[in-house]
């Protein structure tokens, strides 16, 4: 594993476990010495310091946030400054606007970005790329699977990495988002970067 520095082991980082590849995020966090908890209920959310929102199917995840009664408690924690790392579908859910979302898909509006779902094509159009990330010395190998595109950034959002001309990693205050799947790379550095804010 690239990175692998020990982080504050008194933290408990939640991983939203309603749908998607949440277990890979748990693996990465545990490898860098962080206690994790799968978040499926408001009670689970109350027990964590920070949260990772993984990839998956964003419309399904949006519906599950509502049916599990997590949407409102999560919105309140976000407004109160809880650090959250959203990847792929997680980024879509955290965005202020979804340009091609379904009418019943509610974004959390936690980061001032506009996103387009599946912007790079279908599953067969998935790809990998080495990207230069601000603050990291060596490039990060990013895995893009049915990835969303950040269409626009608000003035308070900082672009941390690009793939060609597209922003693929961005941060605003307590929110970090990636349009790719960092948990699928053999590299812990982005999870470590997120946890430095916790």
Q: How far is CA 22 from the centre of its chain?
A: 11
- Is 163 one of the catalytic residues? no
Instruction: Tell me if residue 72 is catalytic.
Output: no
Among the listed residues 88, 163, 191, 192, the single catalytic one is: 88
> What is the pairing mode between strands 84-87 and 175-178?
parallel
Choosing from 25, 163, 181, 192, which is the catalytic residue?
181
What one-character-per-residue DSSP string does 14-54 give?
A: EEE-SSSSHHHHHHHHHHTT-EEEEE-SHHHHHT-SEEEE-
- Given 25, 26, 163, 183, the catalytic residue: 183
Q: Give the contacts of 99 (CB within 8 A, at least 6 positions apart).
A: 114, 115, 116, 151
| Phi-psi region at 120: left, alpha or beta (left = phi > 0; alpha = psi -120 to 50) | alpha
Measured between alpha carbons, how far is 116 from 78 in angstroms, rounded to an integer? 22
Q: Which residues are catalytic?
A: 88, 181, 183
């Amino acid at each position: 594993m690239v990175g692998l520095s020990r982080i504050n082991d008194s933290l408990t980082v939640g991983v939203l476990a309603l749908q998607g590849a949440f277990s890979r995020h748990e693996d990465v966090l545990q490898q860098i010495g962080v206690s994790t908890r799968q978040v499926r209920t408001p009670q689970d959310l109350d027990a964590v310091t920070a949260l990772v929102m993984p990839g998956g199917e964003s419309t399904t995840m949006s519906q599950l946030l509502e049916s599990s009664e997590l949407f409102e408690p999560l919105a309140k924690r976000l407004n109160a400054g809880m650090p959250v790392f959203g990847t792929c579908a997680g980024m879509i859910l955290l965005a202020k606007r979804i340009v091609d979302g379904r009418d019943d898909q509610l974004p959390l509006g936690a980061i001032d970005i506009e996103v387009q779902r599946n912007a790079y094509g279908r599953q067969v159009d998935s790809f990998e790329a080495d990207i230069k990330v601000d603050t990291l010395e060596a490039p990060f190998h990013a895995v893009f699977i049915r990835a969303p595109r950040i269409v626009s950034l608000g003035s308070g959002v900082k672009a941390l990495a690009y793939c060609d001309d597209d922003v693929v990693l961005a941060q605003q205050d307590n929110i970090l988002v990636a349009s790719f799947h960092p948990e699928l790379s053999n590299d812990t550095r982005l999870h470590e970067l997120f946890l430095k804010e916790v």
